[in-house]
Amino acid sequence: MIRHHNLPYIPIRPGDERVIPGVLPATETSEHQGLHGRADIEIDIRAIEGRILRRDMAVPLEDYQYWAEGSWKTRHGTYDSAARFGGKLEEEFQEVVDAYKNFINEPPQNSQEKQRLGKEFLSELGDVLWCMSALGSNGGAKINAGLQIYLYKYTVGTQVINGQKLLPPKWREEAADLSTKWERITPENIDDLLAAGFEPRISPEMNLYEDDYPEPPDIAGKFIEIAALIQAAQTETDVQYGRRNVEGEAGNMLIGQSFFEARSVVLSEICAATVLEVAYIARHELSASLLDVLQHNVQKLSSRIKDSKIDKSDGTRDKKHL
């Protein structure tokens, strides 16, 4: 049985010493063989893995978020986890940039090597998505809600300027439908939105000119946007856990749980934007779907955990380790 079936995602609540508890207690966690998991709800991780691996088109992104909350090296809802995932995001970002450069610089006539480098690039995209999802979860983010908030801003805040005319973006209806979707958003929904011409941007509240969409797509620019999202996520989690104030200055303060939860909304949008950026890059550079990214990521990480190829600390790690 999967606890969250037809139920809203239950976000992680902080248990860090600098976050003052609210009405709800900190999320219960468990530890098994040096790895931490959630103990507050029953989640059948294997069932989630199975759905993604067999390419179930109806699998919600919330399922992937739950799956990414398993087998952490540090306890959930703590600054230790925030710091770990924030640092790991920087590491994985550099690796995905390197993988991208290797892929695009490989001559197309070397088809076998090009294919191998494409899979490596896809793998690194998945690692970035996993880290951002985990960082968001540790900060109480809800990716499904974040996508709906983020896409709603696009829907109401974007117009296309064509000469003297103001027109709605051609993908407006698709974005509006997702922003108010009753059912949980799936990877297929995101791919359909991208197929309609949607292009994620750091600031969705803007005007677009008819020639704003570069041909071919500006993939290098997307990495700049992901770097900005990583920095924003790191800042939000530092503020959430009292390590800096909202002006960005370093601090060491106590934080109320209500303040923590308010920052969780911002973090939800950052995670949502990262999902859209990763899906955009996969589609336009690799002709791959978001589900391809998730499938590859789940297969790789679950096999490493199963084969005990994951180290239990954050010391020096070789490329085999998470």
The string of DSSP codes covering 180-242 is: T-SSPP-HHHHHHHHHTT----S--SEEEETT-S-SS--HHHHHHHHHHHHHHHHHHHHHHTT
- Which amino acid, one-letter code, is at 317? R
**Per-residue tens of pLDDT for the chain, all 322 residues:** 345 566 789 999 999 999 998 888 999 999 988 899 999 988 888 899 999 999 999 999 999 999 999 999 999 999 999 999 999 999 999 999 999 999 999 998 889 999 999 999 999 999 999 999 999 999 999 999 999 999 999 999 888 888 888 888 889 999 999 999 999 999 999 999 999 999 898 777 778 777 666 677 889 999 999 999 999 999 999 999 999 876 766 777 899 999 999 999 999 999 999 999 999 999 999 999 999 999 999 999 887 776 655 544 444 433 333 3
Nearest CA among 79, 77, 6 for reference residue 40: 77
Ordered strands of the 206-209 beta sheet: 165-167, 158-162, 206-209
Nearest-angstrom CA–CA distance, 177 and 192: 11
Nearest-angstrom CA–CA distance, 317 and 33: 18
Kindly state the tokens that stand for 281.
């890059």
Q: Is there a cis peptide before residue 216, judged by omega within 30 degrees of 0? A: yes
Rounding to the nearest 10 degrees, give the CA dihedral for residues 267, 272, 278, 284: -150
CB atoms closer than 10 angstroms to residue 258: 10
